[in-house]
Amino acid sequence: MNDPKELEKNFYEILNVSKEASFTDIKKSYKTLLLKYHPDINKDNDSSEHFIRITKAYSVLKDDLSRAEYDESLSTSIKSSNQTKFQYSYHDFFKIKDDIFNVFKIFFKNISGKKLPSIRKDDYFFWDGEIDEGVLKMSAKELEERLLYSDNLFVKINAAIALGIKEEKSLCGVLENMLSDPSDDVKKAVIWALGNLKMKKNVSMLKILYENSPIGVKIEILRSIYKIEEGKSTVFYKLLTEAVNGSNMDLKKEALKLLLKIDNKILYDDVKEIFKNGSGEIKVLLDRIIAENKIINYPGRT
């Protein structure tokens, strides 16, 4: 982003709200901008920078204390300089915080020599080991800082899963922001955590993310939407049938396993293609699905 006017904007201007805006208005505008500039949705070159600026602005204005501190610094800068508008704009305000978190980053890089865990083929929990008890004892704020500022994937994944285990719904927005993380493993952890929070408002964002995600992330999204909607929504049904009819075998198998879990049945016409080439593990799963009468209008059944 090379536009000087954009770089000079304060947090209120970044979020397109007035300085007197209520938290509800700030949050509403933030959600709108989040969907507009999310890197997985908006492919413009500047979208990632916009997304980061929006996220950081909201992280300050959503909290009464940090907002008050920001307002004070903003007011001071206006009074002290007529030549420099908004001295404590986006970059200046976070310089102090960035300096502080450079210390944390060094710590985060060295807190664990453990190997990055692999993703298990499990219906709910993909962690290949137990979360450290010390991480679970951390406050929501400490976990948020680890998730946002650590350069260590193991630390970020631990923090995301801990937030999910602790069901920290107050940090749902932070988890949503981390869906833009470049690491698929971090995304999977965040998606799992969102699924564990079971907040229906996350379904639309997960559905959008699903479209352009790699298979491993798609599987985790499918699982999380299943948990959030308990397998009963039209969104879940649509993604489930698409996965069953798709070409990727891992996604097919995951969809069939979830079909065995849900209470609802599925129409034969919506998944009939899979019966033409079902073999191996797919055939075993199909046999179970047929035996449990999960398919409506399946040929041969009365």
Residue 240 located in a structural domain? yes
Q: Is there a single domain that holds both residue 1 and residue 93?
A: yes
Name all contacts of 14-21 with Cβ < 8 Å and 24+ positions apart.
14/53, 14/54, 14/57, 14/90, 15/54, 15/57, 15/58, 15/61, 19/71
Q: In whole angstroms, what is the distance from residue 253 CA to residue 294 CA?
A: 15
Instruction: Give the integer Cα–Cα distance in Å for 125 and 260.
Output: 18
Q: Is residue 220 part of a domain?
A: no
Same-domain pairing of 4 and 90 = yes
Helix (H, G, I), strand (E, B), or coil: what is residue 217? helix
Q: Does 198 reside within a domain?
A: yes
Residue 104 lies in a domain: no
- Are 207 and 237 in contact by the 8 Å Cβ rule? The answer is no
Q: How far apart are CA 18 and CA 272, in angstroms?
A: 54
At 76, which CATH number? 1.10.287.110
Q: Does a structural domain hold residue 255?
A: yes
**Claim to verify: residue 44 and residue 68 sit in the same structural domain:** yes
Q: Mark whether 21 and 91 lie in a shared domain.
A: yes
Q: Where are the alpha helices (DSSP H) in the chain?
A: 4-7, 11-14, 23-37, 47-61, 64-80, 90-110, 133-136, 140-149, 153-165, 172-177, 184-197, 203-211, 215-229, 234-245, 249-261, 268-271, 281-291
Let me know whether 82 and 22 are in one domain.
Answer: yes
Q: What is the pLDDT along the chain (302 residues), one digit of tens a residue?
A: 445 555 567 889 999 999 999 999 998 998 888 778 876 667 777 777 787 788 888 888 888 877 888 888 777 655 554 433 434 444 444 444 444 344 333 333 333 334 433 334 343 345 455 666 778 888 888 888 888 888 788 888 889 988 998 899 999 999 998 998 888 888 999 999 999 999 999 998 999 899 889 999 999 999 999 999 888 888 888 898 888 888 888 888 888 888 888 777 777 777 766 766 666 777 788 777 778 777 777 776 54
pLDDT of residue 206: 92
Report if residue 219 sits inside a domain. Answer: no
Are residues 62 and 33 part of one domain? yes
Phi, psi of 81 (to 5 degrees): -145, 120
Question: 176: Cβ–Cβ under 8 A, 6 or more apart, which residues?
Answer: 34, 194, 202, 205
Task: Note whether 193 and 159 are same-domain residues.
Answer: yes
Indicate the SS3 state at residue 180: helix
Number of domains composing the chain:
3
Sequence-ordered list of residues with C-beta below 8 angstroms from that of 69, at least 6 positions apart, any chain? none
φ, ψ (nearest 5 deg) of residue 195: -65, -35
Range of 1's domain? 1-97
Residue 209 lies in a domain: no
Q: Environment class of residue 206 by beta-carbon count within 10 Å: exposed (0-12), middle (13-18) or buried (19+)? A: buried
Interatomic CA distance for residues 184 and 192, integer angstroms: 12
Query: What whole-number distance in Å separates Cα of residue 140 and Cα of residue 216?
Result: 28
Query: What is the DSSP secondary structure assignment for residue 195, as one 8-state letter?
Result: H
Domain assignment present for residue 178? The answer is yes
Same domain, 87 and 144: no
Of 193, 178, 114, 187, the C-alpha closest to 145 is 178
Are residues 202 and 176 in contact, defined by beta-carbon separation less than 8 angstroms? yes
Q: Does one domain contain both 42 and 79?
A: yes
Q: What pLDDT was estimated at residue 116?
A: 37
Residue entry with tokens 């999960």: 294
Question: What is the widest separation between alpha-carbon atoms in the chain?
Answer: 83
Instruction: Please provide residue 142's backbone torsions phi and psi, each rounded to the nearest 5 degrees.
Output: -65, -40
